[in-house]
Amino acid sequence: MKVVLFCGGRGTRIRDYSDSIPKPMIPLGHQPILRHVMQWYSDYGHDEFVLCLGYKANVIKDFFLNTRPQTFSDCVVTQGGQDVKLLGDQVKDWSITLLDTGVWRNIGERLWAARDQVKNENMFLANYSDGLTNVDLDDVVAKFEASGKIGCFLAVRAPLTYHLADIAEDGRVREFRTTDTSEIWINGGYFLFRPQIFDYMRDGEELVLEPFRRLIDDNMLMAYKHDGFWRSMDTLRDWQSLEDMVERGDMPWNRKVTAEKTRRGLVMAGS
């Protein structure tokens, strides 16, 4: 399926980076978070991407126009760099459509601008491009396909550390709960749609407000609850947390890294 990625935001809550580069290009390890997201989809076999650009679109265009496969692969370099041989698995040939959808448009307007790219798809995927997860995408797709719904979003636990108070009308406290034991779910920014989503959209509307309300009224929106790993990169603190995970080699969103850690664990257990 095609994957629509919203890459046009200004990233105002993570200013230390976003003044110079667009938020999706903020690096985690040796590659931008956008590429981590794309690699996750590619690991599930989805290699056609539509990037809805906006703020500093030229930076993202330059990255994909000038980055060579060996940038993210082990390689052997000879003849002063003129001959490069890739080691291990060959890098997949991604199809990447780069659309400049404007600087000040919201997510709904960016999706609308990409409608011609997905109008002939049975279903398509979409993402904010600034969050990572280890959800089983194949299972999400299967359940959405079987549902007959028009839209689906990944529902995740709110990443809060507050204690939630259940308070009666008279001020009596019934209970305190932690957020991870509550029934608070938020939009994780991972979507599946059928092209009929565009029938529910109107000019200038934000995606998850009015269009989703219309889907709800028609019983055409479903949520896929995910209790596993999910992390968005909204603030500098979020970035540091994800960067620390990359440095430790703890990347649950990367299926290859996770499989290798599992293999090593089995080898160590058996030795």
Segment 50-99, tens digit of pLDDT: 999 999 999 999 999 987 766 666 778 887 767 777 676 666 789 999 99
pLDDT at position 12 over 70: no
Phi and psi, residue 172, nearest 5° = -70, 135
DSSP state of 174: E
Q: What is the pTM of this model?
A: 0.87
| Residue 226, token pair as written in the block | 């995910």
> Facing residues of 91 across strands?
none
pLDDT in tens, 226-241: 999 999 998 888 999 9
Would you state the pLDDT for residue 262?
A: 75
CA distance linking residue 79 with residue 28, whole number of Å: 31
pLDDT at position 18 over 60: no
Local structure of 84: helix, strand or coil:
strand
DSSP state of 69: G
Where is pLDDT greater, at 15 or 110? 110
